[in-house]
Each structure stands twice: as C-alpha cells, then as structure tokens.
Homo-oligomer: A and B are copies of this chain.
Amino acid sequence: MTISWLQASILGIFASLSSMPGMAGSTIGNYTLGRPLVGGLVCGLILGDLKMGIAAGVAMQLVYIALVTPGGTVSADVRAVSYIGIPLAMVAIHSQGLAATSANAADLAKSMGTLVGTVGTVLFYGTATMNLVWQHMGWRAVERGEFRKLYAVDWGYPWISHLIFSFIPTVLMTHFGSSAVQALKTALPMDGIPMKTLFTVGALLPCVGIAILLKQIVDGPVDFIPFFVGFTFAASLKLNLVSVTVVSLIFAMISYKLDMAINTNRQAAPANTGGTVDDEEDEDI
C-alpha cells in the first residue's frame, strides 16, 4: 500500500478542515472531522480500506477521547493524529501483513498516533501564529471602515496558513512517509526508551488538559472538593459519566438553594457586614 499524490492531497484538505483553528468551523471541523473515529472513516474511504481505517481510528480515538483544548491550549494536534497518523499507520499495518482489527495493529496505530500527535502541536502553533498576519490586515480594514474585508480575513486568508501548516506537511508526510514507516519499527522498537517515553507522555498529557480546565473552575482548595468527589465516584465506585452527572445534580440543587438563601439574607441585612457570609469568605476556608 502506498499513498499517491492525489490521495495525499485529499488528506491534506481534510487536515486543513479539521485542525484546531480549522477551516470547517469547530462543530463540523475540529469536533467532527478531527476526531480520530471519523478520521478513520475518511482515511479508510480515501485509501480504499474502510475496515482497517476504522480499526486504526478506533484505537487512536480511545487515546484522545477526553481531548479538551481550553483557551487554545492544544496538548495533541488532531489534524496530525487523524490525517497523518492514521494513513501512515494503515500503510505500516498493511506492509506487515497484520489483520486490520488485531491487537498488534491497534498498538501500532496508537504509537503512530501519539508520535505525530505530540509533534503536531508545532503545526497548531504555526497556524495560529501565521494568522496574526491576516488579523493585522483585519485591524487596518476596521480602522478604515472597510468591514466587508472582515469576511476575507476570517474565512479566506487563513487558508494560506493552512496551506503551509496543514496541507503541505500532510501531503509530504503521507506521501513520502510510507517508505519511512517501514524503518520506524526497527528504528524505534516498542520496548526502547523513545517509544516508552512517547507513550508515557501520551498518558501524562491529558493531565495538562484537565488541569487547564481545573484552573478555570478552581479558585481555592474548597473548589477541589466537587472535583475529587466526582473522581472518587468514577474511580472507586466505577460510576460512568452519565451516572456521575446525575448524582452531581442533587449537589447542584443544594448549591443553588443555598446560594439563594444566602442571597436573600444578604438583602435582608444590607447594613450588617461584620461576619456575614460572602464569596470571598467561602473561598478562603
């Protein structure tokens, strides 16, 4: 199995559409086309082996299922995972004659995904940085009152960023990578330091994502309590996410009623400030 220029180009377009800031909008782009599960379907169709594409996508999706990018903090880049990683994984699996849905194939896919996923964050930062150029043009348009130019700035010019940081890298890596893939397995054995480290990093990185999320939610130590209670419910009691959410609702209800009670009270005693409850106090415990 090799990847032709044409196939590589189609992959490049999908990479441009699905990246974080991608050209298809986050709903259709990053959150749909960017998910490895969907990427597997797309790559399977493009490379003509649907089953293997899906299988590789499923394996990678499991690794990145909780990927959140709060405030544009990207710990792994899905354009690279889905449209460079999956195709290369498919080539490798194929050339080694592994069964599409075998465990070995899945592991190979994961290693390819983690490898390009972390490396791919460079592409994300490249794209976002280049967009500064178009934004600069945008500000000048605003100053001059040429508002219609905003459409070009928001919808058009960023394609140039993607040509450079999504399309070209994808095309080159998928087209030429196929030959390099063969070497990868020998050069980077799974029980060697580099691969082990790579996978360990892959396991550790989601911590950053969750931590960034926590930064938005947590102000003082008390705010950690709901987090840890939820963690305990899932980790110790094996509650699934829907059940955790259901249980959390009763605490939300209590919190709401409590705050309303405190509120009313504060209105009732506007002059009495010494010793009253206020948020600052709540968070300082």
Contact = CB atoms under 8 A, between A and B. Distances in A.
A281 B272 CA distance: 25
B264 A272 contact: yes
Interface string A26-57: 00000000000000000000000000000000
17 contacts: A225-B249, A225-B253, A226-B250, A229-B250, A232-B243, A233-B247, A236-B237, A257-B262, A260-B262, A260-B282, A264-B265, A264-B269, A264-B275, A264-B276, A265-B265, A268-B268, A268-B272
A256 B284 CA distance: 12
How many of chain A's residues touch chain B, expressed as a range?
35 or more
B264 A267 contact: no
Nearest to A277: B260
A36 B249 CA distance: 38
Contact of A246 (B228, B254, B277): B228
Given A229-B247, A240-B236, A257 B275 contact: no
Interface in A93-126: none
B247 A232 contact: yes
Given A267-B274, A268-B276, 18 more contacts: A225-B249, A228-B249, A231-B246, A232-B246, A236-B237, A236-B240, A237-B237, A250-B251, A257-B258, A257-B262, A257-B277, A262-B264, A264-B265, A264-B266, A264-B272, A264-B276, A264-B277, A267-B276
